[in-house]
């Protein structure tokens, strides 16, 4: 068999939706964009939603909208910069968005079970320069929000919720995407739902919403603004109506999509639970998981893990090491001098993880093949 790591779940409904837009003159800044934003805001329980061309763009505008990062553009990495606390175990954009505005990401190690930032370690990282936290719901597992919100109030810090991997997840019955001043989702093809490329900003603050909306469209004010009248230094971060139409169709199927993914995860759990040397994904009592990826951990060294992945790939089972620690990426080692041992839990987890093939329509036969090859590869 040849089994991909991920693939989107596209039906006739999505294809018809995109074709419908292509039959109109409204390929950008049209009614489907507005419909998608309104539907997303309602889904997340937010007042405002601003679609972007990626989750990374959404995170960047969140940092900018909160006024973070007033240090000089070419300041030394540790000098004169606002600081933003975040996790070293994430996709790199959750830290890069801080660098975009010349602020400094400050990493805090993770909880070994949830793999999210450890709330018990945050306060030690707070300084007079700390302005905000980018809190990531890793792999679709909600962060333990209560202590984080308490810390934010105590130190008057802003919260940016990076739920790019967690649409549909819930913390104590409240949906991810509804915490913090600003939240973000992302819709790359490997996510739970997709717009091809795309993301969205969610907030209850009208001023933030209007500012972010203007910045997605070259800094043009929405209310009272003329087409070629630019009030801010903006970007081309718009989502097209083609992408938005795909999003409208996918969001209408979100319950079905999440059920499919949960079924696949449960099958993996059942078939992998008794395999020696394999640790299954953990779900905290407070969490409703929205499965983005299915990540196991294997006992042993990083070299052993890499050998297991090579054996899987040789047998047609695509896999990946989710995630490499951000602080050990070449850019961050060069800028900040990070080294192994700085965040030992994140590093230990990173050395053991394997993301197995995971998508909505993965069949039980395919799962059985993945499990069979995995068992053979562990020897």
**Same domain assignment for residues 271 and 192:** no
Ranking 25-39, 73-87, 198-212, 227-241 by mean pLDDT, the lowest is: 73-87
Q: What average pLDDT is seen over the chain? A: 96
CATH of the domain at 222: 3.40.640.10
**Same domain assignment for residues 231 and 266:** no
pLDDT recorded at residue 222: 72
**Same domain assignment for residues 163 and 244:** yes
Per-residue pLDDT, averaged over 281-300, amounts to 98
> What does DSSP assign to residue 253?
T
| Rounded-to-integer distance, Cα 244 and Cα 248, Å | 6
**Same domain assignment for residues 211 and 123:** yes
Domain termination residue (choose one: 252, 281, 316): 252
**Same domain assignment for residues 156 and 270:** no
In a domain, 4, yes or no: no
Q: What is the per-residue pLDDT across 50-91, written as a single tens digit (0 to 9) for each?
A: 999 999 999 999 999 999 997 544 455 555 689 999 999 999
**Same domain assignment for residues 178 and 325:** no
In a domain, 286, yes or no: yes
Per-residue pLDDT, averaged over 90-108, amounts to 97
Q: What is the per-residue pLDDT across 225-279, written as a single tens digit (0 to 9) for each?
A: 567 888 999 999 999 999 999 999 999 999 999 999 999 999 999 999 999 999 9
**Same domain assignment for residues 213 and 304:** no
Q: What is the per-residue pLDDT across 118-157, written as a single tens digit (0 to 9) for each?
A: 999 999 999 999 999 999 999 999 999 999 999 999 999 9
Q: Which domain holds residue 72?
A: 12-252
HEC-encoded secondary structure of 119-185: HHHCHHHCCCCEEEEEEECHHHCCCCHHHHHHHHHHHCCEEEEECCCCCCCEECCEECCCCCCEEEE
**Same domain assignment for residues 243 and 300:** no
Beta strands, E only, the chain: 48-52, 83-86, 104-107, 130-136, 158-162, 170-171, 174-175, 182-186, 199-203, 278-279, 287-288, 294-298, 353-356
Q: What are the φ and ψ backbone dihedral angles of 213, each rounded to 5 degrees?
A: -65, -40
């Amino acid at each position: 068999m040849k089994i991909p790591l991920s693939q989107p779940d596209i039906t006739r409904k999505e294809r018809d939706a995109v074709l419908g837009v292509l039959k109109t003159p409204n390929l950008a800044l049209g009614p489907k964009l507005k419909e998608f934003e309104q539907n997303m805001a309602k889904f997340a329980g937010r007042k405002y939603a601003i679609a972007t061309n990626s989750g990374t763009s959404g995170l960047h505008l969140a940092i900018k909208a909160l006024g973070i990062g007033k240090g000089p553009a070419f300041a030394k990495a540790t000098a004169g910069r606002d600081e933003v606390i975040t996790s070293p175990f994430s996709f790199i954009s959750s830290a890069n968005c801080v660098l975009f505005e010349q602020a400094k990401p400050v990493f805090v190690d993770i909880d070994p079970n949830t793999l999210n930032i450890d709330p018990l370690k945050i306060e030690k990282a707070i300084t007079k320069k700390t302005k905000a936290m980018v809190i990531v719901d890793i792999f679709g597992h909600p962060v333990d929000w209560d202590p984080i919100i308490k810390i934010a109030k105590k130190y008057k810090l802003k919260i940016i919720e990076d739920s790019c991997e967690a649409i549909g997840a819930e913390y104590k019955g409240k949906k991810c995407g509804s915490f913090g001043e600003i939240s973000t989702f992302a819709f790359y093809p490997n996510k739970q739902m997709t717009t091809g490329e795309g993301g969205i900003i969610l907030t209850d603050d009208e001023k933030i919403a209007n500012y972010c909306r203007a910045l997605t469209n070259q800094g043009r004010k929405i209310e009272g603004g003329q087409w070629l009248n630019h009030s801010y230094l903006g970007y081309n971060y718009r989502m097209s109506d083609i992408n938005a139409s795909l999003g409208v169709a996918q969001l209408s199927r979100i319950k079905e999509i999440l059920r499919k993914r949960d079924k696949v995860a449960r099958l993996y759990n059942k078939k992998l639970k008794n395999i020696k040397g394999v640790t299954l994904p953990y779900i905290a009592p407070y969490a409703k998981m929205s499965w983005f990826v299915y990540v196991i951990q294997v006992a042993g060294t990083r070299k052993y893990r890499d050998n297991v992945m090579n054996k899987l790939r040789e047998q047609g089972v695509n896999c990946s090491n989710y995630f490499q620690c951000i602080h050990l990426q070449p850019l961050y080692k060069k800028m900040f001098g990070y080294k192994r041992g700085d965040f030992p839990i994140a590093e230990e987890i990173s050395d053991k993880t394997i993301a197995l093939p995971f998508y909505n329509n993965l069949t039980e036969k395919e799962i059985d093949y993945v499990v069979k090859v995995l068992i053979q590869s562990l020897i």
